[in-house]
Amino acid sequence: MDTTRDIIFRNFKLNDAAIGSAIDSTDGLGMGIAGCVVDDFDPDDVDVVQFSEKRAEADGLDVGTPFLGGRRIRLSGTVYGKTRALCYDALWQLRAALNPVLASREIPGDKGYLPLYFAVPTNDPNYAGAIAMRALVMPKSFRAPINRDQHGGVDEDALGISWSAQMVMRDPNFEGETPQDIYFADTVIQTGTATASTNLVNATDHGLVEGDRIYFTTLTGGTGLSLNTSYYVIASGLTTSAFKVSTTLGGGERDITVNYSVAAFAKFQTIQGNFLNRGTYNAPLNMIFAVGAQAGTITVSTAGSQFTIAIPASTGQRIIRVKRDKIITVEEGSVESLRRSWLTFQNTTTWPLIPPGTSAYTVTINGCVLDPGATDGSHMWFWEMFA
């Protein structure tokens, strides 16, 4: 933590980088300095816990058999006022900012763990000179003892009062202030028909080419095709307004036995790319998928983890959350419930931890539809972690 830069908690500047510009050295009432500074910062009181639970090595907050427990931050500083009255007013504001009850009430869902914002300088060109960081902390203790010899006097005189505080961190790692965030495009659904005599799916300007992988989202009135099934576009019969499908790449055409009055379809969505974790620690991944009523699967592969979310059909829009603390939930009808049974891991590494540096990711959407009506959309993100 760089004490020449701002340090902010709950919109209060614990350390005001511009405090020097507030010095008033003129004679008379109200001269002096106003604001708050951090004089000492110690973040290195960290517990080390030995292996004590099944799969601790794959925990979203752990990186090895000996892993990190809690971390405590100790701060001390001085609050200044150009008069004793202003100094005491600022002290009450500081106490309120570092009050655990008020912190908990501010955002009840965060249980009192709110971001402490700060920055440090760096030579890393990816950060353009400074790393903006945060720690999710809850205030634990606060002291600002008053001494008659130091703090007595005339109300109109300038005053400084020393303070100290201790905070506990939710996770034992510091985070980048802004997450690395990747959004997914909404699913594009095209509507057509299907003809039994020709085995053709008819859709004007469908834009598909041989080898494209599709699935049907709606099938009305016919037989021969299935929802939530992977099909491949084949060369036979392919035009700008019609195509045939096979259950295998380059295979024989699928037989349509009764005409479909509606055959709505979408291409498989495969999102590929690379994460860049500029931090020094493995970072747990968060994901949100806003899906429609269709059944389907979402398969994710990244950072040595491979897992599939099997989504059953329903009657409306749902929001699926894969959370950093090893929880998967579904929100439907404004009710959020645990859905760990939907999740299957394909290997021995469970929750994805994004290591420092570059790592590839692949997300494949099959059957279900990423819903364009969702407010926040579907995306995945992580905060870069620092030991």
User: Does residue 331 surpass a pLDDT of 70?
Assistant: yes
Nearest alpha carbon to residue 65 among 56, 74, 73: 56
Range of weakest confidence among 21-25, 153-157, 199-203, 356-360: 21-25
Q: Predicted confidence band at 259 (pLDDT cuts at 50, 70, 90)?
A: very high
Domains and CATH numbers, the chain: 7-176 (2.40.30.200), 190-267 (2.40.30), 269-386 (2.60.120)
Give pLDDT, residue 25.
Answer: 60
Which contiguous run of DSSP H or E holds residue 68? strand 67-81
Percent of the chain having pLDDT more than 70?
91
pLDDT digits over 81-122, tens only?
988 999 999 999 999 999 999 999 998 888 889 999 999 999
Residue 60 has pLDDT above 60, yes or no: no
Residue 114 identity: L
Over range 157-168, report the average pLDDT: 93
List the strands of the sheet with 343-345, edge to edge: 269-277, 357-366, 296-302, 305-311, 343-345
User: Please, are residues 90 and 126 in contact by the beta-carbon 8 Å criterion?
Assistant: no
How far is residue 191's CA from residue 243's CA, in Å, rounded to a whole number?
13
Mean pLDDT along residues 244-255 = 94
Looking at residue 374, what is its pLDDT?
A: 60
pLDDT at position 228 over 80: no
* Number of Cβ atoms within 10 Å of the Cβ of 107: 11
Residues 6 or more apart whose Cβ sits within 8 Å of residue 215: 227, 228, 229, 230, 231, 265, 266, 268, 296, 366, 367
Each residue's pLDDT tens digit, 190-207: 999 999 999 999 999 999
From the CB of residue 18, how many other CB atoms can be counted at a distance below 10 Å?
9
Report, as an integer, the average pLDDT of 344-351: 80
pLDDT at 373: 64
- In the chain, pLDDT over 90 holds for what percent of residues? 56
Instruction: Report pLDDT for 37.
Output: 95
pTM value surpassing 0.85: no
For residue 72, the model assigns a pLDDT of: 93
Query: Residue 351: what pLDDT?
Result: 82
